[in-house]
Amino acid sequence: MKNLLLICTGGTIASTKTEGGLAPGLSPEELLRRVPDARAFCHIDAVQPMNLDSTNIDPSHWLALSALIEENYGRYDGFVICHGTDTLAYSGAALSYLIQGARKPIVLTGAQRPIDREDTDARQNLLDSLRYASAGDSGVCIVFGGHVIAGTRARKTRTKSYNAFSSINFPDIAELRDHRVVRFIPCGESGAPRFAHALNTRVMLLKLIPGLPADSFAAVSAHCNGLIIESYGVGGIPDAYLPQLEALAQAGKTIVLATQVPQEGSDLSVYQVGHRVKERYQLLEPYDMTLESTVTKLMWVLGQTQEPREVRRLFYTPVNHDLLF
Catalytic residue IDs: 12
Type of residue at 168:
I
Instruction: Give ∠ CA 128-156-63 in degrees, rounded to 5.
Output: 80
Which residues 6+ apart lie within 8 Å of 189 measured at CB? 100, 101, 102, 103, 138, 139, 320
Amino acid at 283: L
- φ, ψ for residue 142 (rounded to 5)? -115, 130
Selection from 108, 126, 130 nearest residue 116 by Cα: 126
Taking each helix axis from N to C end, the angle separating 242-250 and 272-281, rounded to the nearest 10 degrees, works out to: 20
Residue 4 CA: distances (Å) to CA of 48, 78, 213: 14, 5, 51
Rounded CA separation 113/164 (Å): 11
42: β partners: 2
